Structure 1
Amino acid sequence: MMPCIRERTGLTRGSAMASAKRAIARIAYGSRFDRVPWGQRIYVRPGERYAREIQWSLLLRRSPIVSLDAYRSRVPLGEIEEFITCHMCGESRQQPLFTPTGPQQDGQESWTYRVVRCPSCGFLYRNPNVRPERLGDLYASGYSGFLTGDYAAGRRLRYRLTMDAFGQVLADGAKRRLLDFGCGAGLFLELAEELGFDAYGVDLSPDSVEQANARLSAATAYHGAPEDVPEIAAGGFDVITLWSVLAHLPRPLDDFARLRRLLAPGGVLLVLTVNARSLLLKAHGAAWSGFTKNHLMFYSSLTMPTLLRRTGFAGVAFAPFYGDTIEAGTAELPERMRQRLRRAVAATDGGNMLRALAFADDEAIARWGTGLPVRALT
């Protein structure tokens, strides 16, 4: 008997499917899009974004909506999990869509969870979700190794690009108080020091906090929640940042209400997270890069304003995301292709990452909102 293709080549099922998709794309589009970074090709290949939107519409039409009781009866519950309703609007009905699964890597167990959509407001979230008191279990050990490995260089670039997208808000620290919520191993706090901020960080991973303080000279990272640290609980922060943290929060309304109280008058909150309107999500479903092991909730420019409005923020501005290499200028694309990418991102989802600047009050909008597309949250 002939061995299967995966046995002969060593390909996993996922990599074999990815290779097949690339081959199909090459046949359909030729090689002229090979210079476009993989994550942006969906925006520039003729007709593809329309096909993906249709694909998404068909998925929503075909996926049944069930009561929470019916959903509970057929979905197993893990030790650290609980069933929840939509945190944005309170809807209890569920529309199950995806079951992301991750392989076993570096001695860690494989993982899987279920992602549902709220049929009322469209919010995507993991259900069952992690109980807040067990959230620290996800970061108890080993997480800092991920944050300081190959991931780190790309993070530093993305910090810079996101800050540049919002103009002068973070260009000069000028001794302003800054809190990095979910600071990890302190990579951004290190940059905040260089920019002159009076910077603090807080994180649930003890080994990450230890590594952060080892690399910092003026800033300080703390383990625990903001209210547990007197220097942070006192508030008065001019800037609060959440770098790839929002998707990890099991009680976002509580957390954002707390962060709003920590902001000084005229303060701003900067968020970078995965974008739940991404065409890449609509194309790849459960295999989307935004569905990672520790992600719990998934926001878009349609659902994040609800979170901000309900927790007391006065306005929000979103900045489109074109891809790190595109924005950094390291991807050599013809100008015609760049323009096509920009038009497609503007006309659809804003890109695979969601970048938002939330304003604490009207003073913040007046001070930092000039030149930005500020959306009032009344």
Structure 2
Amino acid sequence: MPCVAERPACPLCHTAGSSLFCTAPQGDKLLDYYRCSECRLTFVAPAQLPTLAEEKAEYDLHCNDPQDAGYRAFLARLAAPLQALLPPAATGLDFGCGPGPTLSLMFREAGFSCADYDPLYANDPQLLTRNYDFISCTEVAEHFHQPGDSFALLQRLLRPGGVLGVMTRWLMADPQFERWHYRRDPSHVCFYKPATFEWIAARWDLVLHLPATDIALLQRP
């Protein structure tokens, strides 16, 4: 067990002295995972985070086809409850759209305007200077190296009444964490519990909706 001075601050809530949760293999390396006692985030030790090149190499292996019915059904788990909270003609942003933008296409087909942003594949900084009625963030939050900064940015981009929709696998079974397939993706570095989203909602005065497992909707009053 590392000494207190070696324990990193939480990258979400910045509470000092997170506890070592476990050490687990990742390829040919061993990674240290820490757990924050305040917001319940589990995260990779900062010194062991992947480089941008390593992340992109992993992302480039993904094959997200906008015409794939199975992929669309997966994304609809977020799109459907999010659309139910939107006014007609709402405008949005798909944050972290990846190399094959699909969710924005689904929103446009449903009558909503939606732009694509991704720091690697669709990097238009101007999109981060506007405000939106909704922001979708599917299978992205687990990649955040500085989730506190990322969620602060996302909530600033919301108009009053706007909704941030997040889809990421929740960490529910601590004893199975080392064997969990979701952890084994080398680009996944942050893992959330429902309590973590409760903390996020309280921190930024958002209304939290949990319509289904792995889905969190955070709405500005």
TM range (shorter): 0.7 to 0.9
How far apart are residue 100 of structure 1 and its match? 3.8
- Work out whether 1:85 is the aligned partner of 2:24: no
In structure 2, the CA distance between the partners of 1:188 and 1:121, relative to structure 1 (3 Å rule), is: closer
Contact kept in structure 1, 2:96 and 2:117, CA below 8 Å:
yes
CA distance in 2, matches of 1:91, 1:259: 24
CA contact (8 A) 1:66 1:94 kept: no
- Structure 1 residue 359 and structure 2 residue 202: aligned? no
Whichever of the two has the greater Rg, that structure is 1
Structure with more helix by fraction: 1
Q: Alignment identity in percent? A: 23
The two structures have a TM-score, normalised by structure 1, of: 0.51
- The one-letter code matched in structure 2 to 1:309 is A
Higher relative contact order (CA 8 A, sep 6+): 2
Q: Between Structure 1 and Structure 2, which shows a larger proportion of strand residues?
A: 2
2:156 corresponds to 1:266:
no
User: How far 1:198 moved relative to its partner?
Assistant: 1.4
Q: Residue 247 of structure 1: CA displacement?
A: 0.9
| Matched residue SS, 2:151 | helix
Q: Give the partner amino acid of 2:74.
A: R
- Does the 8 Å CA contact 1:271/1:356 hold for their aligned counterparts? yes
- Matched with 2:118 is 203
Give the match for residue 21 of structure 1.
none
TM-score (norm 2): 0.83
Aligned counterparts, 1:15-164, within 5 A: 66-69=3-6, 84-86=8-10, 87-102=12-27, 112-119=30-37, 121-128=39-46, 136-141=52-57, 143-148=59-64, 153-164=69-80
**Superposition deviation, residue 199 in structure 1:** 1.1
Residue type of the alignment partner of 2:200: L
Q: 1:319 aligns with which of 211, 214, 220?
A: 211
Q: Which runs of 4+ in 1 moved over 6 A?
A: none
Matched with 2:105 is 190
Aligned length: 216
**Matches of 2:51 and 2:202, distance apart in 1:** 25
1:8 is aligned to none
Residues 290, 313 of structure 1: CA spacing in aligned structure 2 closer, same or farther, 3 A cutoff? Answer: farther
Q: After TM superposition, give the deviation of residue 234 of structure 1 in Å.
A: 3.5
SS class of match (1:268): strand
Equivalent residue letter for 2:186: K
Q: Structure 1 residue 233 and structure 2 residue 128: aligned?
A: yes
Structure 1: runs of 5+ lacking an equivalent = 1-63, 72-83, 103-109, 210-221, 322-353, 362-378
Cα displacement (A) at 1:179: 0.3
Two-structure CA RMSD over aligned residues (Å): 2.7
Whether contact under 8 Å (2:94, 2:115) holds in the other structure is yes
SS at match of 2:168: strand
1:178 aligns to what?
A: 92
Q: Distance in 2 between matches of 1:96 and 1:144?
A: 30
